[in-house]
A and B are shown apart, each in its own frame.
Chain A
Amino acid sequence: MSSRPISPHLQIYRPQLTSVLSILHRATGVFLSVGTPVLLYWLLAAAAGAEAYATAQTLLDAGFVQLLLVAWSWAFYYHLCNGVRHLCWDAGYGFELSSVYASGYAVLGASLILTLLTWACVWSQGTSA
């Protein structure tokens, strides 16, 4: 593929809710994919025995890791809610521009609320002994 000249786009078009949420769906998808090894690690540690599991719990309790887990949880809820939004489009619903914006804001709000609810649950329980 030759390096032919193409029209500028990112330097020209102002970001809209539509385009931003769209790339965010892809970005959260990739970010979540990158996080699947962590899920595997937890499962494999549980399978390896109490000692390995205790090590895993300590690692997963670390501050930096907790931050990553918060990020992953928000990415998960966003990807889930926006995914449902996509499925509605696939079924033919919600294409009016006003609907697109309304559902877009709803997805952002819902993902934030779900993330906060989840971590309220986690932190109210305290860390493992």
Chain B
Amino acid sequence: MSLRSDLGRVKGLGSAKLGVDHWWLQRVTAVALIPLSLWFVVSLLAVFNAPHAEVVAWVAAPHVTVLLLALVAVLFWHVQLGLQIVLEDYIHSAWLQVTVQVALRCIAVLGALAGAVAILKISLGH
């Protein structure tokens, strides 16, 4: 027996079925960001005033490279998940919603890639 309402069937709407996954991923990325972002802020306080060579040496340290890559990936994922909800709340036209959500995902991926490339350029070129 289908639990779908008549209206849902007629309008082609209904549960997107991805709700729980989104909710869970937002929490997982949030929990991951707690130590990652705090570590980054503390580290930044130590190197923000340092000469370029010192900053490069810090980024190039293997454990720092790994953590920075993790931070960038998780951060942009969390940003995308969060902004998705905000946009869903305020955009109601279907075509605009799809366009904006796809654009958001593209920007998030590009942002994460830009960060990763910068980190790897420093790390591998050192």
Contacts and interface: CB of A to CB of B under 8 A. Distances in A.
Contacts of B63: none
B52 interface: yes
A47 B123 CA distance: 9
**A-side interface mostly:** helix
Contacts of A30: 82-83, 86
Given A36-B75, A40-B115, A83-B30, A46 B41 contact: no
A80 B34 contact: yes
Nearest to A43: B118
Contacts of B86: 26, 29-30
A80 B117 CA distance: 27
Interface in B29-59: 30-31, 34, 37-38, 41, 45, 48-49, 52-53, 55-56, 59
20 contacts: A1-B92, A1-B93, A26-B86, A30-B83, A30-B86, A39-B115, A43-B114, A43-B115, A43-B119, A46-B52, A46-B56, A50-B52, A80-B34, A83-B34, A87-B27, A121-B45, A122-B48, A126-B49, A127-B49, A128-B48
